[in-house]
Structure 1
C-alpha cells in the first residue's frame, strides 16, 4: 500500500494545542485543534485500531493502511470543492498516552455539514443557497469521477461547509479507484458502503459491486435532502428501505412539485433529481451532465446568494428565534395567478406583490395597527404563514368561540401544520371577516413574534 503523498508534511502532536472532540463514530474520532506554527485551526481524523471498512481482503490490513488510502484519495481529488489535506498526524491524541496513533490533518470547516445546518435551521434553506450547494457538490463529484475515483458515501453529513456556507466533499473512507481506469467495462470499485438511505436499488443485492452510477443515485437523494431541508425516510429501517427502494419507492416530492413551476430553475433541478435516482444505473446522468443543469439554475439566482448566506448566518447566530428569516416554497405571484389556482393546495399561494420593495429591511414599527391593518396582514401573508406557523393548535384555541367545534375538529385532525393552517384559513379566518383576522393576528404575534416582525407586522 502506497504511503500518503509526500507533498504534505508529517504533523506531530507537539505542534498542536487546544484539542476539542467534534465528531466520533465507528470509524474513530475527529478533533478540532490549533496548529501552533500555522496559527489556524485544523481537523484531525484518527481511526480506531482494528476498524477496517475497506481493504479487508488484505491479509495485514490496519487503520494505518486505511488512512494511507484515504489520504491518497484526498490528494488525488484535491480541488476547491473537496476537503483539503494538510498532512499526516502522528502522536498521542487526548486520552491516549500509551501508543502512537496516526491520522489525517485536514481543513477545519467552521459551519459543520449540510446535515448539521439543516438541524440548526430546522427546515429548508433559501433557494439561492440550496441551488449553490447543489452545484458545488456536482462540481466536486465531477472532479472526483474525472480522477477515476468514486465517493461511495455521498450524503448531507459528508458535505462540509465553510463559514461562508460553501460546500466541500469529505469522508473518502469508502472511496475506490474505479477499475474502468484499468480498461474494465464495468466501473467496479470493490465493495458496498455508505448510508442505506442513499444507496441505489441495485446495491441491496449481495453480489453488487459499486460503480460510479452509485454516486449518481446518491446525488439524486442528496438533492432532495437539500431542497427539503431534511433527511429522507426519517423513520424507515434498513429492512424497509431494502424492500421498498428496489420496488421503486423514492422520497415524497409533493411539496417540491407544488413549487417547481413557480421558482425559476426548480423544475429543471427536480427533473435532474429524478433522473439521478432512476432505477436503471444506465439512465442516470453523468456528473458532467448534472453540471449543465446546476450551473444554469444557479445563474438565475446568483444575485440572491449574498442575502441568502447572510440570512442563514444570522439565523445560526440567533438560535432562539422561532422561525428562519426566509420563506421556503413561497414565490411571488400576481393577483391574476392567485385567482387562477382553484385547488386548496394552490389556492394558498396568494399575491405578495403589494408588499413594499423595502420588505427585506425589517424594522420595529411604533405605529398601532388597526383591526383592518391586521386583517390585511393576515390576507397578504397567507402563503408564508401557512408554510411557517407551527403553533397552529395553540393559536386555534386562543380564537375560542370564533372557531366552531366542527372546524376545530377538522383542524386538529390534519397531520401537518401546513394542512391545519389551510383548513383554518379556508374556514374560520375567511368567513369570520376583520374581527377574526385581527384576533388571529394577535394570537400569531404572541406565538410567533419573530415571524410577524419579519413580515412587517
Structure 2
C-alpha cells in the first residue's frame, strides 16, 4: 500500500530542542520538545515502527480537517527526522499543540471529586461543540473519555486522540495512560459495540458522551473496580453508572443534564440524541443546542464570569489550588479575578481598541508564545493597524481565553497607557 503523506508544514530535528518523553504505549511514543523558531513547546507523536506511518498519516489527515476548531487539539505539522529515541531510520511523527494544564481526568483526580457546577456545565457544552464539529466533518472520535479531553490555561476543553487511533496518550505533562482496547475503552463503549461484527456510527460517540457526562458530574471513573471482561458482559445487559448519588436539586439545569446523560446512554441507539449537524431523524434531540441552553441558564443565575470558575491551573499537574467547594460555588467565585477584569475590559472595548491601537506588532511580540507563528505572520502581513488588531481579536484573543486577554491588557498598558486610562482600565 502506497503511503500518502499529509501535505503539512514539515518539522525537522534541527528545529527542535529539549526533547522529553511524556507518553508511551502500543502505538509508540509521545515527546515534548521546544520549537526554536516558533518559540513554543510542541507535542510529537511517533509510531513504534514504520508500519504505524500509515495510521499516523490517517490520523494527521483527520486532525487537519478539525484542528482549527477551538475545542479540538491543534495540529502544527509533520515531523520527519531522527528523534532521540535511538532510531536509526528517519521517522514520521505528528507535531501538535502541547497542553501542560492537564485533562478532565487529571482535574478530577486532583480535586478528588467533581468540579464546580459552572465549570461542569461549560465542559459539557464545549465537548458537545467539539464533537458536533467532528461529526459534521464525518469523523468519529471513537474513544471519548476524560483523559482525551484536554484543558487549556483557562480550563476550556479541547478534544484529542480521535480518528480510530490505537494510542490514547493525552499529550500532557507526565501522562502515560494508554488505551488497551483498539477502537475504544470498555467503560465508555456502547452495548452494541461488543458485537464482533459491529461497525461504528455516530451513536457510538453519543453513548460515550453520556458516560463522560456522568464522570464529570460525579468526579470519578465508571465501574472503577470491575474487571474489563465483566464490563463487556454487563453493559449489554443494561448496567450503567449509578445516578442515585446525584442530588439534582444542587444546581439549576442539573436535572436536565442528568436526563440528557441518560438518553445518551440508552441501550437503543435510535433513541439517543444527536450532537447536531447531520441528524438521522428530526425527532432526535440536538444535544449541542440543549447543552447551550443549559449553560446559558446557569450563567444567568451567577454574577461571576461565564464559567463561574476562578481557579488558575498551575504549570505542573502536581498541585491545584482551587478556592471553590466541590459541590457549590463559594462567595469568592462571585468576585472577578484580575484575569477576568482584564478580559472584560478587552471585550468591552473591542471596537475602540481596533480603531485606536497602533503598536500592534509590538504588542503581539510582547505576547510571545501566546501568539502562534501563523497568527503572528498574519498580523505582520496586514497593511493597517486596524487590520492587525482584527487578526489579533479574531485569532489569539478569541481562542486563548482570559489568560491571553490578560497578557494583552498588560502589553496594552505598556504601549498605550493613556488609552487604557481613558477607557477606565
Length-normalised TM-score, structure 2:
0.67
Shift of residue 173, structure 1, vs aligned partner: 4.4
Shift of residue 4, structure 1, vs aligned partner: 4.4
Task: Kindly provide the CA deviation profile for residues 185-220 of structure 1, in whole angstroms up to 9, marking residues without a partner as x.
Answer: xxxxxx971101100001111111111110000000
- Match in the other structure for 2:323: 325
Task: Indicate how the Cα distance of structure 1 residues 29 and 308 shifts in structure 2: closer, same or farther if over 3 A, else same.
Answer: farther
Structure 1 residues without counterparts, runs of 5 or longer: 51-61, 177-190, 333-356, 362-457
Task: Indicate how the Cα distance of structure 1 residues 272 and 89 shifts in structure 2: closer, same or farther if over 3 A, else same.
Answer: same
1:16-31 equivalences under 5 Å are: 16-31=16-31
Shift of residue 248, structure 1, vs aligned partner: 0.8
Residues in 2 aligned to 1:155 and 1:85: alpha-carbon distance in whole angstroms: 20
Are the aligned partners of 2:101 and 2:314 in contact in 1 as well (CA < 8 Å)? no
Residues in 1 aligned to 2:192 and 2:27: alpha-carbon distance in whole angstroms: 25
Q: Does 2:127 match 1:141?
A: no
2:229 equivalent among 223, 236, 239: 239
Residues in 2 aligned to 1:203 and 1:279: alpha-carbon distance in whole angstroms: 11
1:271 equivalent among 256, 259, 279: 259
2:295 equivalent among 295, 298, 304: 298
Residues in 2 aligned to 1:34 and 1:315: alpha-carbon distance in whole angstroms: 16
Q: Which secondary structure state, in structure 1, belongs to the residue aligned with residue 211 of structure 2?
A: helix
Residues in 1 aligned to 2:123 and 2:157: alpha-carbon distance in whole angstroms: 6
Q: Which secondary structure state, in structure 2, belongs to the residue aligned with residue 32 of structure 1?
A: strand
Structure 2 residues without counterparts, runs of 5 or longer: 167-180, 277-285, 336-425
Residues in 1 aligned to 2:320 and 2:182: alpha-carbon distance in whole angstroms: 41
Residues in 1 aligned to 2:16 and 2:41: alpha-carbon distance in whole angstroms: 9
- Match in the other structure for 1:311: 311
- Match in the other structure for 2:192: 202
Residues in 1 aligned to 2:141 and 2:334: alpha-carbon distance in whole angstroms: 40
Residues in 1 aligned to 2:39 and 2:85: alpha-carbon distance in whole angstroms: 24
User: Alignment RMSD, CA only?
Assistant: 2.6
- Match in the other structure for 1:99: 89
Task: Indicate how the Cα distance of structure 1 residues 263 and 238 shifts in structure 2: closer, same or farther if over 3 A, else same.
Answer: same
State the number of aligned residues: 307
Q: Which secondary structure state, in structure 1, belongs to the residue aligned with residue 89 of structure 2?
A: coil
Residues in 2 aligned to 1:171 and 1:155: alpha-carbon distance in whole angstroms: 10
Task: Kindly provide the CA deviation profile for residues 83-136 of structure 1, in whole angstroms up to 9, marking residues without a partner as x.
Answer: 111100011222325222110001111212111221122211111111111111
- Match in the other structure for 2:61: 72
Task: Indicate how the Cα distance of structure 1 residues 19 and 309 shifts in structure 2: closer, same or farther if over 3 A, else same.
Answer: farther
Task: Indicate how the Cα distance of structure 1 residues 158 and 14 shifts in structure 2: closer, same or farther if over 3 A, else same.
Answer: same
- Greater relative contact order: 1 or 2 (C-alpha under 8 angstroms, separation 6 or more)? 2
1:130 equivalent among 88, 101, 120: 120
Task: Indicate how the Cα distance of structure 1 residues 317 and 46 shifts in structure 2: closer, same or farther if over 3 A, else same.
Answer: closer
Find the structure with the greater CA-based Rg. Answer: 1
1:378-417 equivalences under 5 Å are: none
Residues in 2 aligned to 1:359 and 1:109: alpha-carbon distance in whole angstroms: 25
Task: Indicate how the Cα distance of structure 1 residues 38 and 192 shifts in structure 2: closer, same or farther if over 3 A, else same.
Answer: closer
Q: Does 2:1 match 1:3?
A: no
